[in-house]
Structure 1
Amino acid sequence: MNIVFVLFDNVTQLDFAGPVQFLSRLPGATIQIASNYGGAVTTDCGFSIIPNTSFADCGPADILCVPGGHGVREAVGDAALIDFVRKQGAQAKWVTSVCTGAFILGVAGLLQDKRATCHWAYTQLLPLVGATHQPARVVRDGNVVTAGGVTSGIDFALELIALISGEDVARTLQLSLEYDPAPPFQGGTPATTAPDILHNLRARVYDKAAAQMESALRDNGMVG
């Protein structure tokens, strides 16, 4: 079971770190972390991740996973990365993304006519890459599995592990890694967040970020 994660500069590290921690324990798993030339990629936390392979040397994926982050805006215009994702996704058993990584799948043509999700601040842009937004933390349409924002990558990993190896294996890994979320505050989604907090966050970060994402998709021919 070859599991390939595609990384790029300014990736959200938890989009990657959550799923890889769980999927690496899938029985028979081999993990390949790929960047264009195998070099280090920056994260949004101020440190870098060193992949263990390049696009050229990476083996065919059984599971392809593309995390997100503000770096997606540049990644959708990276021809080498999009070509790699397109070719890997065409033969993978499972094609997956976390957060805004969905837009990399979309630009690669892998979300056409699929139900999908991503981070809540960008869901309105999914139709621009051929997908229909389904409001859910994890969405599966055929062999395509997309997760919402950041922490939902762990939920996606557990659902995929259950599909591949059975619920007992998934439950065992959940216990092993003590995944029992009990946040101190309600408000991890727009529906459960105080309106002023949601408004302020949109105004400070996500209105601009979503506009920049749309512009990046337009620049790469996804929008007329």
Structure 2
Amino acid sequence: MPATFDRRTLLAFSSLLAAGAALPAAAQPAPANHIRTMTEVPPDAPKVGLLVFPNMVALDLIGPLTVFRILRCDTHLVWKDLAAVPTDAGIAVSPTTDFAGCPEDLDVLFIPGGTIGTNACMTDPEVLEFVADRGSRAKWVTSVCTGSLVLAAAGLLQGYDATSYWAVADLLPLMGARPVDGRVVRDRNRMTGGGVTAGLDFGLTLAAELMGEEAARRVQLVLEYAPEPPFRNGTPDEAGPESTARMKTARAGMDNAARTAAEAAARRLGI
């Protein structure tokens, strides 16, 4: 059975990441006090609603969530009910609230990716109604990877620049968005990230908007985020046409289903 990645685990994980962030060893508070300080949410903390759903990519969620937790945001893992949802990593994530219990006015609405999971969300009226409702009032409407297809299917990216996972980014125009090849793309209050590893770039970019550049820099240092990939193979341009074509062939079933869902969303949105 998969492990359950619940709120207590997430809080502890964020606290451990932040444990050595600010003070010399001699000046650091006792561990219990430090943990309490790092997990207390200030009353004016930004409210962040993060959609969780079956078959999402866990890392799409965990990267940005870790940034939000270090910033001590008021985070809500949201799904239809409170039953744990399975992820690609074999780790089940437990929602902390259902759609009805999610704050109505969010500072950030965030949608992670995972093609199989987002394909289902794009054709689920209950999910799309929730995303459209909270997105209509959120200060920031955001996603990573194929999460942008869910935003688009909910009508939230019409007339906006956006990015997505490279294999399905060409579906964005079907739902009224303007695809941009970028690691993190911002257009007014919409911010979308590319594939899985763009989640940290996205999180840090949004952190600077929420709390200022210095706070975002501190989080980057806490995470020791200084990527040095062993291979230059993370984009179609780097991988080359032959490797990219093989990957597209392997993904054909999922991507064709995504296209069908996008075309259905376009008809529903009148595009």
Task: Tell me the TM-score normalised to structure 2 length.
Answer: 0.79
> Within 2, Cα distance between the matches of 1:137 and 1:209?
22
Q: Per-residue CA shift, 1:169-199, capped at 9, x if unaligned?
A: 1111000011111111111111111433222
Q: What amino acid maps onto 1:17 in structure 2?
A: I
Q: What amino acid maps onto 2:234 in structure 1?
A: G
| Superposition RMSD in Å | 1.4
Q: Give the secondary-structure state (helix, strand or coil) at the position aligned to 2:135.
A: helix
Question: Is 1:41 paired with 2:85?
Answer: yes
> Within 2, Cα distance between the matches of 1:217 and 1:199?
22
> Within 2, Cα distance between the matches of 1:195 and 1:105?
29
Structure 1 residue corresponding to 2:258, chosen from 195, 207, 213: 213
Larger radius of gyration: 2
Shift of 1:216: 1.7
Structure 2 residue corresponding to 1:53, chosen from 87, 92, 97: 97
Is the 1:38–1:55 contact (alpha carbons within 8 Å) kept by the matching residues of 2? no
Question: Is 1:111 paired with 2:157?
Answer: yes
Is the 1:122–1:210 contact (alpha carbons within 8 Å) kept by the matching residues of 2? yes
Unaligned runs of 5+ in 2: 1-45
Q: Per-residue CA shift, 1:106-142, capped at 9, x if unaligned?
A: 1111001000000000111110111001111100000
- How high is the sequence identity, in percent, across the aligned residues? 40
Question: Is 1:167 paired with 2:209?
Answer: no
> Within 1, Cα distance between the matches of 2:90 and 2:195?
20
Q: Give the secondary-structure state (helix, strand or coil) at the position aligned to 1:104.
A: helix
Question: Is 1:89 paired with 2:144?
Answer: no
Unaligned runs of 5+ in 1: none
Q: What amino acid maps onto 2:96 in structure 1?
A: N
Single out whichever of 207-216 and 183-192 deviates more from structure 2: 207-216
Shift of 1:39: 1.8
Structure 2 residue corresponding to 1:199, chosen from 224, 245, 249: 245
Q: Give the secondary-structure state (helix, strand or coil) at the position aligned to 1:146.
A: strand
* Matched residue count: 222
> Within 2, Cα distance between the matches of 1:12 and 1:62?
23
User: For residue 48 of structure 2, what is the aligned residue in structure 1?
Assistant: 3
Task: Tell me the TM-score normalised to structure 1 length.
Answer: 0.94
Is the 2:52–2:112 contact (alpha carbons within 8 Å) kept by the matching residues of 1? yes
